């Protein structure tokens, strides 16, 4: 039995690890390699230029702006999204008043309906969501300004995506709107696995909703929250922010560079300006930011695992 173990394990691991190496590791290695060249992306010839791309990055104002926005996304979006999702999930699952003859803990009235509704945005592709909001933000005939006019606020007609002070917040709002539902479902599932006895005991001790949430729900949900945090941060640094910025914003990336993010910059440099090598250098910077983000979250979130 013993000596048959390794071939058995290796047999199972080869295919997935091979695929992982081919489709994840190898492109990484390739990209890092290209970041030291002057490859345009439009022809097979290039030469090594050493650290030139990285040196250029340090003086590139647009790069720093996009880095700044990406960091803001990575800090703020998980905080808001996860916070909101926790609140909503708690209200759906635990926050309801006790009803006579009902279970000890339950959500607010109509919670099963809300649970489905919150998940709706997740069903729509992010491209569609971005497009819909681009219409809604239209200052002259969009839904938001029409509502404002409808309730008599004729003077409050912001330019939304056309205003450099508002545009970034408009974009963030869309990302929160489109992702919060997923985390509500994720946390709901996590809350469902917390034993009811713990809540009963808390209730007997006279705990109110706040205490229940902070003393019972959150600690027992910690692992899920942490995973969600990393996942959301990655969405905010990667695909989700790209789609929304690319589809919705002025330019895209504007007005006046107020919404440019790193992924967008990678895309523009590689596919608009024919500077694929520089784009990979920016991509490597994004890789470092993403890894650092994941490491910090894991480090800060380290706690004793609670067994129940």
Partner 1 sequence: MGSTSAENPTGVGRRDLIKRSAALGLISVPAVGFLSGCASGGGGGRGRAEAGEKTAKNPLGVNTTAPMEFVLFDGGFGREYAEDAVKIYEKNFPGAEVKFSATQKIQSTLQPRFNQGTPPDLIDNSGAEQMDMGVLVGKNQLTDLTPLLDAPSYDDPGKKVRDTLRPGIVEMGQFDGKPVWILYYAYTVYGVWYSQKALDSLDEKYPETWDEMLRVCEKARKRGMAGWTYAGKYPYYIPFSLYPMIGKVGGREVLDAIDNLEPNAWKHPAVKDCFEAYYELYRKGYILKGTPGLDHIQSQTAWAQGKALFIPNGSWVENESSHVIPKDFELAVSAPSGLDDSDRMPFGTIWASGGEPFIVPAKARNPEGGMEQLRIMLSEASSKNFTTKVKSLTAYNGGTDGIPLTSGLKSAVAALEKAGSNVVNPRLQDWYVQLQKEKIGVAGLGEMMAGRLTPAEAIRRIQGFADETAKDPSIKHYKHQ
Interface with partner 1 (CB under 8 A), residue total 82
Between 1 and 42, whose beta carbon lies closer to partner 1? 42
User: How long a stretch of residues is the chain?
Assistant: 308
d(CA 10, CA 78): 38
Stretch 69-128 residues interacting with partner 1 (CB under 8 A): 122
Can you list the alpha helix ranges (DSSP code H) found in 193-275?
Answer: 196-204, 209-211, 218-220, 222-237, 239-248, 262-267
Does 242 interact with partner 1 (rule: CB under 8 A)?
yes
Question: C-beta of 211: minimal distance to partner 1 in Å?
Answer: 23
Helix (H, G, I), strand (E, B) or coil at 37: strand
Stretch 252-271 residues interacting with partner 1 (CB under 8 A): 253-257, 263, 266-268, 270-271
Residue from 137, 199, 213, 245 touching partner 1 (CB under 8 A): that is: 137
User: Which tokens in the block code for residue 298?
Assistant: 């894991």
102 alpha carbon, distance to own chain's centre: 37
Does 63 interact with partner 1 (rule: CB under 8 A)?
no
Does 275 interact with partner 1 (rule: CB under 8 A)?
yes
* Residue pair 62/260 in contact by the 8 Å Cβ criterion: yes
Residue from 24, 48, 117, 296 touching partner 1 (CB under 8 A): that is: 24
Residue 48 backbone dihedrals phi, psi, to 5 degrees: -75, 135
Between 174 and 263, whose beta carbon lies closer to partner 1? 263
Question: C-beta of 101: minimal distance to partner 1 in Å?
Answer: 30
Question: C-beta of 5: minimal distance to partner 1 in Å?
Answer: 21
Question: C-beta of 239: minimal distance to partner 1 in Å?
Answer: 7
Does 133 interact with partner 1 (rule: CB under 8 A)?
no
Stretch 172-211 residues interacting with partner 1 (CB under 8 A): 182, 185-187, 189-190, 193
Between 2 and 140, whose beta carbon lies closer to partner 1? 140
User: Which tokens in the block code for residue 123?
Assistant: 């069903």
Helix (H, G, I), strand (E, B) or coil at 238: coil
Between 100 and 305, whose beta carbon lies closer to partner 1? 305
Residue from 93, 111, 178, 280 touching partner 1 (CB under 8 A): that is: 280
d(CA 168, CA 171): 5
In sequence order, what DSSP letters do the residues of 280-294 get, joined into one string? HHHHHHHHHHHHHHH
Number of Cβ within a 10 Å radius of residue 99: 9
User: Which one of the spans 79-87, 100-108, 198-206, 250-258 is the region binding partner 1 (CB under 8 A)?
Assistant: 250-258
d(CA 3, CA 18): 24
Residue from 54, 169, 177, 231 touching partner 1 (CB under 8 A): that is: 231
């Amino acid at each position: 039995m013993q000596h048959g173990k390794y071939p058995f394990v290796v047999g199972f691991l080869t295919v997935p690890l091979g695929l992982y190496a081919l489709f994840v590791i190898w492109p990484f290695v390739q990209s890092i390699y290209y970041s030291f060249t002057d490859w345009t992306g439009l022809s097979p010839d290039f030469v090594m230029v050493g650290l030139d791309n990285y040196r250029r990055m340090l003086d590139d104002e647009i790069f720093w702006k996009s880095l700044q926005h990406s960091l803001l996304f990575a800090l703020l979006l998980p905080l808001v999204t996860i916070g909101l999702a926790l609140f909503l999930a708690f209200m759906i699952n635990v926050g309801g008043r006790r009803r006579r003859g009902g279970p000890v803990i339950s959500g607010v009235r109509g919670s099963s309906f809300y649970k489905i509704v919150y998940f709706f945005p997740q069903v729509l592709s992010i491209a569609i969501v971005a497009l819909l909001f681009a219409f809604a933000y239209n200052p002259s005939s969009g839904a938001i300004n029409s509502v404002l006019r409808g309730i008599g606020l004729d003077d409050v007609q912001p330019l939304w995506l056309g205003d450099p002070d508002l545009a970034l917040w408009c974009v963030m709002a869309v990302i929160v709107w489109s992702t919060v539902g997923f985390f509500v479902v994720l946390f709901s599932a996590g809350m469902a696995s917390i034993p009811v006895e713990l809540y009963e005991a808390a209730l007997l001790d006279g705990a109110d909703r706040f205490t229940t949430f902070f003393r019972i729900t959150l600690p027992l949900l910690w692992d899920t929250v942490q995973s969600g945090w990393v996942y959301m941060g990655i969405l905010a640094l990667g695909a989700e922010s790209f789609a929304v910025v690319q589809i919705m914003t002025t330019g895209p990336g504007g007005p006046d560079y107020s919404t440019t993010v790193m992924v967008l910059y990678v895309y523009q440099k590689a596919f608009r300006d024919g500077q694929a090598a520089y784009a990979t250098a920016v991509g490597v910077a994004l890789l470092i930011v993403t890894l650092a983000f994941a490491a910090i979250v894991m480090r800060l979130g380290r706690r004793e695992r609670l067994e129940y």
